[in-house]
């Protein structure tokens, strides 16, 4: 099979580029796949070399550029690959509403021109608190979401990373070929034992691409309250501002709290150390934009998690992961959860074991096999 894979891709960050890189590395090992042509966004910085012989990267579109997306549509119509696979969420194509709408229409366009298409949609506009994502929930936005969702369901196959989204798309939009394929987990490090009880100091980690809905101010407020009682506590904020919210993180870095370490973007070779050196991973999200890649990463690295009590997080717990939950946006409730974790190392050990078991069922190899099976089904 010859696969065209449309996605953001490294060296670009966020917009699901890390997901694409991890998945394609495993897909390229499948004997049924002869070539993967990645139609990626224009690179910011140095070009990313093809990491596998089967993977060819072409910088074919630009965020917020409607013209580049139209050219991409023409390219698909002319070249006609065996499968077009899109990796997207509702703001994958920039901040422009029309660019995102057109981007989400590509899989439907491919199907209508006789090309088998797969659309992996990571979040649903209906499920997101738009105001918390700094999006005006006006009539035009709402109607755009409805129309985009209908197009999402017109792909040859639609995949989601949250189980309940399958039934939602079937009931709300009449989706016929939608299935759940879990988010993958990164490789766990060699030593996964939780070291919370082995050190005098304790470290909290918030990891990811930062924007308004991630809840960083909630964590900072909670940390300020905790520092008075737990002076040994440290906070690491790892990640840069999300490209849809440029400069967002700088306002917090300027506060210069010596107990808070802003380490910036963490490259793949430093992921394991960053997670291993943290006792607790904190996800203070105000709303969920699909399942959390950081949640799955924390599970893969065997870390205990404290997370906002959101439906998508609860679904991950229902599938076998463990986390301590607190009320979204409530810094005092977050303080209680962190205090409980610090005072109950045995609970963290159990969480570590459960999260590793959860991650072992969702390695990128497993996820790639699920997509290969889907591709082969569409070829029949």
Confidence of residue 257 (pLDDT cuts 50, 70, 90): confident
Average pLDDT for 236-247 = 93
Q: Is residue 271 over pLDDT 50?
A: yes
Confidence of residue 44 (pLDDT cuts 50, 70, 90): confident
Q: Which two tokens stand for residue 86?
A: 């899109």
Average pLDDT for 157-175 = 96
Spell out the domains of the chain, with CATH numbers in brackets: 2-184+363-379 (3.40.50.2000), 202-360 (3.40.50.2000)
User: Taking the CA of residue 259 as centre, how many other CA atoms within 13 Å lie in the half-sphere pointing to its CB?
Assistant: 17
What pTM did the predictor assign? 0.91
Confidence of residue 51 (pLDDT cuts 50, 70, 90): low
What confidence score (pLDDT) does residue 192 get?
Answer: 46
SS3 of the chain: CEEEEEECCCCCCCCCHHHHHHHHHHHCCCCCCCEEEEEEECCCCCCCCCCCCCEEEEEEECCCCHHHHHHHHHHHHHHCCCEEEEEECCCCCCCCHHHHHHHHHHHHHHHHCCCEEEEEECCCHHHCCCHHHCCCCCHHHHHHHHHHHHHHCCCCEEEECCCHHHHHHHHHHCCCCEEECCCCECCCCCCCCCCCCCCCCEEEEEECCECHHHCHHHHHHHHHHHHHHCCCEEEEEECCECCCCCCCCHHHHCCCCCCEEEEECCCHHHHHHHHHCCCEEEECCCCCCCCCHHHHHHHHCCCCEEEECCHHHHHHHHCCCCCEEECCCCHHHHHHHHHHHHHCHHHHHHHHHHHHHHHHCCEHHHHHHHHHHHHHHHHC
What confidence score (pLDDT) does residue 318 get?
Answer: 95
Q: Write out pLDDT tens, residues 125-155.
A: 899 888 988 888 899 899 999 999 999 999 9
What confidence score (pLDDT) does residue 71 get?
Answer: 93
How many CB atoms neighbour CB 231 within 10 A? 9
Average pLDDT for 159-183 = 95
Q: Write the CB contacts of 109 (distance below 8 Å, at least 6 apart in sequence).
A: 73, 76
Rounded to whole angstroms, the Cα distance separating 358 from 347 reads: 16
What confidence score (pLDDT) does residue 197 get?
Answer: 42
Contact at 8 Å (CB) between 6 and 87? Answer: yes
- Torsion, Cα of 331, 306, 121, 67 (10° steps): 50
**210-230: burial string, b at 16+ Cβ within 10 Å, e else:** bbbbbbbebbbebbeebbeeb
Question: pLDDT exceeding 90 applies to what percent of the chain?
Answer: 79
Largest CA distance in the chain: 65
What confidence score (pLDDT) does residue 49 get?
Answer: 52
What confidence score (pLDDT) does residue 315 get?
Answer: 95
Rounded to whole angstroms, the Cα distance separating 61 from 354 reads: 41
Residue positions counted in the chain: 380
Contact at 8 Å (CB) between 295 and 307? Answer: yes
Q: Is residue 258 over pLDDT 70?
A: yes
Average pLDDT for 238-265 = 91
Q: Write out pLDDT tens, residues 288-307.
A: 888 999 999 999 999 999 99
Rounded to whole angstroms, the Cα distance separating 30 from 374 reads: 13
Q: Write out pLDDT tens, residues 333-343.
A: 999 999 999 99
Q: Write out pLDDT tens, residues 82-114.
A: 999 999 999 999 989 999 999 999 999 999 999
Rounded to whole angstroms, the Cα distance separating 166 from 175 reads: 8
Q: Write out pLDDT tens, residues 2-23.
A: 999 999 999 999 999 999 999 9
Q: Write out pLDDT tens, residues 311-349.
A: 999 999 999 999 999 999 999 999 999 999 999 999 999
Average pLDDT for 216-223 = 96
Rounded to whole angstroms, the Cα distance separating 262 from 330 reads: 23
What confidence score (pLDDT) does residue 47 get?
Answer: 56
Rounded to whole angstroms, the Cα distance separating 262 from 279 reads: 17
Q: Which two tokens stand for residue 370?
A: 């699920």
Average pLDDT for 344-360 = 94
Contact at 8 Å (CB) between 85 and 33? Answer: no
User: Taking the CA of residue 101 as centre, how many other CA atoms within 13 Å lie in the half-sphere pointing to its CB?
Assistant: 13
Rounded to whole angstroms, the Cα distance separating 283 from 328 reads: 10
Confidence of residue 45 (pLDDT cuts 50, 70, 90): low
CA 320 to chain centre: 19
Rounded to whole angstroms, the Cα distance separating 348 from 64 reads: 43
């Amino acid at each position: 099979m010859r696969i065209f894979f449309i996605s953001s891709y490294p060296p670009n960050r966020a917009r699901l580029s890390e997901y694409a890189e991890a998945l394609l590395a495993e897909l390229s090992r499948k004997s049924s796949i002869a070539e993967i042509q990645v139609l990626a966004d224009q690179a910011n910085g140095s070009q990313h070399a093809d990491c596998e012989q089967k993977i060819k990267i072409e910088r074919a579109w630009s965020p917020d550029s409607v013209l580049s997306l139209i050219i991409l549509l023409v390219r698909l119509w002319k070249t006609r690959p065996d499968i077009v696979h899109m990796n997207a969420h509702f703001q994958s194509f920039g901040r422009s509403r029309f660019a995102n709408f057109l981007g989400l229409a590509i899989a439907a366009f491919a199907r209508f021109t006789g090309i088998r298409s797969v659309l992996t949609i990571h979040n649903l506009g209906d499920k997101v608190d738009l105001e918390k994502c700094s999006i005006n929930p006006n009539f035009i936005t709402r109607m755009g979401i409805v129309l985009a969702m209908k197009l999402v369901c017109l792909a040859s196959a639609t995949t989601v990373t949250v189980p309940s989204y399958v039934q939602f798309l079937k009931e709300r939009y009449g989706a016929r070929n939608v299935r759940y394929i879990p988010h993958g987990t990164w490789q766990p490090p060699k030593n996964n034992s939780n070291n919370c009880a082995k050190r005098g100091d304790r470290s909290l980690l918030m990891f990811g691409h930062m924007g308004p809905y991630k809840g960083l101010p909630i964590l900072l407020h909670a940390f300020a309250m905790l520092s008075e009682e737990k002076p040994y506590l440290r906070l690491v904020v790892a990640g840069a501002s999300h490209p849809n919210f440029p400069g967002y993180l700088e306002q917090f870095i300027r506060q210069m709290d010596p107990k808070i370490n802003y380490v910036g973007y963490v490259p793949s070779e430093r992921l394991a150390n960053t997670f291993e050196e943290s006792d607790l991973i904190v996800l203070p999200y105000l709303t969920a934009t699909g399942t959390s890649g950081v949640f799955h990463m924390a599970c893969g690295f065997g870390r205990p998690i404290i997370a906002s009590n959101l439906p998508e997080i609860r679904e991950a717990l229902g599938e076998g992961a463990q986390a301590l939950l607190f009320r979204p946006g409530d810094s005092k409730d977050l303080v209680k959860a962190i205090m409980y974790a610090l005072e109950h190392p045995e609970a963290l050990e159990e969480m570590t074991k459960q999260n590793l078991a959860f991650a072992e069922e969702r390695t990128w190899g497993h996820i790639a096999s699920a997509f290969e099976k889907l591709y082969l089904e569409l070829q029949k």
